[in-house]
Amino acid sequence: MNMVPELHPLFEPITLGNVTFKNRLAMAPMTRSFSPENVPDAAVADYYRRRAAGGTGLIVTEGVGIDQSAAIGDGSGTSSRIPLLHGEAQLAGWRAVVEGVHAAGGKIFPQLWHQGVFRIEGTGPYPDAPSLRPSGLWGPDGGFSTVSRDYIPRVIQPTRPMTEEEIADAVHGFAKSATNAKAAGFDGIAIHGASGYLIDSFFWPQTNQRVDRYGGDMAKRALFGVEVVKAIREAIGPDMPILFRFGQWKQQDFNAKIAETPDELGILLRALAEAGADAFDASTLYFSAPAFEGSPLSLAAWAKSLSGKLSMAVGGVGLSENLFASFETGGAAVENNFFDAAERMARGEFDMLALGRALIADPDWPNKVRRGEPTLAYSRDMLGALA
């Protein structure tokens, strides 16, 4: 297949753990909620297969509810359509997804997800289960910060803090679902530790004000995430790769920070790496944005430098608008910013590049870009169907 020479870095193979990807392009995890009764069906399998057939080396699935009673429940009526990673029907559905991706030449990781502070009381598969929050807090002062009420109409009343028994149960739930993922044939595990969800809410001082061993300085706030990674590593063995997603911004506050300095971030990332994480997925609104004042380095570049592990950049790749700007405008035009991404990858800033809305708009994006062909623009209306 012909290839645009400047884009060669994006299409080189790369190995993570015992898995080799045919290129450096990944499908970013994106919640779709099209799995009836929490079971991924043939339409879901075809959705992921098409992206693998279109040239994407690694598929990271949408967030998948772990085997813990309060993992999901959003109060909007979509909880029954969020896929789970426990139950015979669910695992059979995922086996079909995995087989389709493998047949199309791709690799696939499930993103293990616990909604944590965003899970609404009385909803989800287990409505009687109490929602889990490190300190019972939803976000800054129990209210909204930089996110509009139109975007996230969440229940934000404080709840009680998690007990240590509940913390242990959540850790166990992640490990059980990782075991199920391995049995279903997945190639690795992705962990959602960003966007204000459960793991991230332990990292963030605004939502973690505990005074026990899980709260305080960064090393203590990292402990829950470290325990999750350790439990998953023990469950799946030494070779199956673990990709950990982290980020500064939160749905509660786009300007939030879990780390004020690179040194503070390094404490977190090195602890997660020592626990068993093989690579870091640096969640940002724009892949090349500088992460800290005084340095041009992106968050993915800092992740690689601080942890010594592979890193993946994400945010606005191939499009003119970042994620939340596109909610306002209704879409995003094509932008060839992937040439910049290729240059950064060639310089060693990061190792992989994840695509989100660009792959919703155009399943064949990698093959088209490789050949120098035009890709399709993104429209918010595309979220209404699994195409």
Residues designated catalytic = 197
Nearest CA to 173 out of 118, 243, 220, 126 is that of 126
Alpha-carbon span 121 to 112, nearest angstrom: 21
Instruction: Name residues whose C-beta falls within 8 Å of residue 111's C-beta, 6 or more positions apart in sequence.
Output: 29, 60, 61, 62, 63, 64, 190, 191, 192, 245
Q: Pull the structure tokens for residue 54.
A: 């279109």
Q: Which residues of 178-210 are buried (b: 16+ CB within 10 A; e: fewer)?
A: bbbbbebbbbbbbbbbbbbbbbbbbbbbbbbeb
Contact indicator for 276, 242 with CB cutoff of 8 Å: yes
Question: DSSP readout, 202-265?
Answer: HH-TTT----STTSSSHHHHTHHHHHHHHHHHHHH-SSS-EEEEEES-BSS-TT--S-SSHHHH
Give the DSSP per-residue string, 21-56.
ESSSEEEPP------GGG---HHHHHHHHHHHHTT-
